[in-house]
Chain A
């Protein structure tokens, strides 16, 4: 503590002295200005603290004074059921995490392939372009829950030889189908955001269309699209909870099982909070990456 104080005192001294040899003495005007700024900061902190306190008190009173609160507290916020549910929910969550990792990779690869297919030129690729466009149109429009029901419940009903009926695999497939359509659009927007002069420069060096895409356009497009891609991954992370409709025992299903037995809804709250806890680091990471990219752009980088 003493050290910190000593250091900050020295820094302050450095600050006022400026560069060595420069005998700068802050003017009375500067000192007055700084005093005023400090006072303003103190006032702002006090106002924020008071306002937070009042808001919290009001919220507390509204909830606790609600006529149904004692009953709600018992059915949604029971400590006993929370303790019982947490291990099971966490066990189920492991499935969500694995689904996220595997689907995440599949979505990125498939999304990139579809985006590239949509930007291909030349008559040979016409059917590919049309298919890719139809794919993104269809799966972006189809509600995920319906997609899941069709794949998870419909495919086993066909009783095809050699096709899995595992709800996890089928659920993962459905997630991948929907999300790769979204991610393909993110990639495509990135590819189209690269200025044509970059492609022109690449082509003028003798690079083929494919080489220009691979070495010049895609690397820039992907870097630029990192924030929206991470955003889609956060979304995918929580939507892995929907595979529970096929009976796969993930975090949501684990909570469901306890609720069905006890008729107490606390496990749902637990599962919900666990998902939130899982998503927050990812969201913060996204914010951090976005801020870093923005800063680079402000500094005059053209990335």
Chain B
């Protein structure tokens, strides 16, 4: 199992100064599955994703991507990031580039694709995500939902092995959340391996093969969506889910 997994974390510890964000995190992500990270704000969901992509350096433990330890100081970090796509909460599109240039930057500069090749693939992806007419627009002319879909296309354009989605609907107006989640659902159907941090519990229950509840810097509870949402074993999980239900979010 462990060698077949796309992403594996073992005893990962990450601190920022005095505060311990990840205490002792174990995680295993099988190919073609969706893992949802849930938990209160500040429980370490985003940090976990940033560590997986080496945007943050972990203090202890180890992370493997396709069986290769990427936290080995000798590992080529750029090569690791090339295989992982990331979509951020705030989209982080490049404002000085058109949608098409945003998407083709990495395929051309990192993967050595020709402009024609990269643009063809980009246009294909844009069309599939309902953004065909937006290729030459600048990001500030798009709605939040459109920007986030462009960000997803940008991450997909390099054919990543693993896609990390960091609360990608948290900055969106409620009526725009659906269109972005629809895209993620489509990617799951195509067999993309994904890890997503989310506050959309209904969506997590719907789409995730594995749900991990983070609390106090550890994965306190994990299992299938039915297990974690339907029959939580830990008191803290139950309390978290009760608050979510009371807030009308599940």
Contacts and interface: CB of A to CB of B under 8 A. Distances in A.
A299 B140 CA distance: 9
Contacts of B88: 197, 200-201
B95 A220 contact: yes
Interface string B74-110: 0000110110111010101111100000000110011
Interface residues of B, number: 27
A134 interface: no
B110 A207 contact: yes
Contact of A206 (B55, B94, B106, B140): B106
A211 B109 contact: yes
Nearest to A299: B140
B109 A215 contact: yes
B53 interface: yes
Given A211-B109, A302-B140, A206 B158 contact: yes
Contact of B140 (A202, A203, A300): A300
Nearest to A200: B55
Contacts of A211: 109-110
B109 A303 contact: no
Given A203-B81, A204-B55, A206-B78, A301 B94 contact: no
A300 B95 CA distance: 11
A205 B95 contact: no
A208 interface: yes
A301 B155 CA distance: 22
A216 interface: yes
A201 B78 contact: no
A293 to B, nearest CB: 12
A301 B106 contact: no
B154 interface: yes
Interface of B: 53, 55, 78-79, 81-82, 84-86, 88, 90, 92-96, 105-106, 109-111, 138-140, 154-155, 158
Interface of A: 197-198, 200-208, 211, 215-216, 219-220, 223, 299-303
19 contacts: A198-B94, A200-B55, A200-B92, A201-B94, A203-B55, A203-B81, A204-B81, A204-B86, A205-B155, A205-B158, A206-B106, A207-B78, A207-B106, A215-B109, A220-B95, A301-B138, A302-B139, A303-B96, A303-B140
Give 7 closest A-B pairs by Cβ, nearest first: A206-B82, A201-B92, A205-B106, A204-B86, A301-B140, A302-B95, A206-B110
